[in-house]
Structure formats: structure tokens, C-alpha cells
Amino acid sequence: MSAVVPRATAARAATPADAAAIARIYNQGIEERIATFETEPRTPAQIEAMLRERGDRWPMVVAERDGAVVAWAGTGPYRGRPCYEGVGEFSVYVDRGARGTGAGRAALAALVEACERRGLWKLVSRIFPENVASRALCARTGFREVGVYRRHGKLEGAWRDCVIVERLIGEAAEQA
């Protein structure tokens, strides 16, 4: 009996050619109602527009396995005020078939590196408390939970709390 060897996962910058795969994976998260307040599926065209809007300042990466995109992670601005220009709000989504295989970790690690290269000093996000896998992923990749927003928003008429996570990167991490 031979051991199962995990397939290699490679992470890289997302391109417009990845839009359909990113939309498919994002839509799984929307459908499951455990990862986002969003309720409307995304189209590849919407993902392409998001990539254009965020440009080089706010990176998006994908993780591939055997040539197929199995996870993605992306950032956007946290707030519009100049004092927050180095803080990015991030998301990470993993295809159902690749969860628990390291694909999310590869995508998130690549995103952190890309954000550091762009001079960001902090990444933040909000996670539903019951999204144990996402919270564990963040903990494994150096994020810390800093609090809970109670009744932060409603999803299908029900109040939902959010756990706040953050990670200092770049210059801010060096001073910690």
C-alpha cells in the first residue's frame, strides 16, 4: 500500500483568464451562506471588472493544482482615508473539492507576499464565527482574532456576527 502524495499547489497573480474559475469558486461560498453577506452570484465579467478596478495596487492571486484554479485570495481598500492607505481588506475562497488540502493556505500566503511587495502594512477581514475552517486557515497563516462585531449585518433576515482578524505585514510587522 502506497502513501497518498498531495498534489503540488502553485500560487500566482490572477489574470482576466481566471475570471470564470474565480467566479465559480466565489459562487460556492455565496451559495453556502457561511463565508459572505453576498447573496447574488458573480459572473466572470464582474470578476474581470473587479480585477481591472483593483489594478496592481490591490492584488488578487489564485492557487492552481494540475493547471486548474482551486482557490483565490484578493484584497481591496479597507477605507478611503489616506491614513489607511496601507491597510487591505482580504478574502479567500477555496473550491469545495480542494478544501483541507493546503490550497487556501497557498493562496493566502501568496496574497500576503504580494501585499508586502506593494507596501501594505496590515491585512484585515471579517469571518462568520461558525466558519471554523476559515478561522483556522487565518490562524495558521499568522492572523490573529482581535474581536467580534456583534450583529454586524443581516443575511436572509438573520443577524450575523463577524470575527475580526488582522495581520501586520511589511514595515508594521518589523516594528512589532
CATH of the domain at 139: 3.40.630.30
Residue 5 lies in a domain: no
Residue 70 lies in a domain: yes
Estimate to the nearest angstrom the gap between the alpha carbon of 150 and the chain centroid: 22
Q: Are strands 122-127 and 87-94 parallel, antiparallel or unpaired?
A: parallel
Residue 114 lies in a domain: yes
Task: Tell me what pLDDT residue 176 has.
Answer: 58
Q: With CA atoms as reference, report the closest residue to 97 among 115, 70, 124, 121.
A: 70
Residue 1 lies in a domain: no
Give the H or E element holding residue 147: strand 144-155
Residue 40 lies in a domain: yes
Residue 3 lies in a domain: no
Task: Tell me what pLDDT residue 7 has.
Answer: 61
Total number of domains in the chain: 1
Q: Residue 168 belongs to what domain range?
A: 10-174
pLDDT in tens, the chain (176 residues): 444 445 678 999 999 999 999 999 999 999 999 999 999 999 999 999 999 999 999 999 999 999 999 999 999 999 999 999 999 999 999 999 999 999 999 999 999 999 999 999 999 999 999 999 999 999 999 999 999 999 999 999 999 999 999 999 999 998 75
Residue 125 lies in a domain: yes
Residue 104 lies in a domain: yes
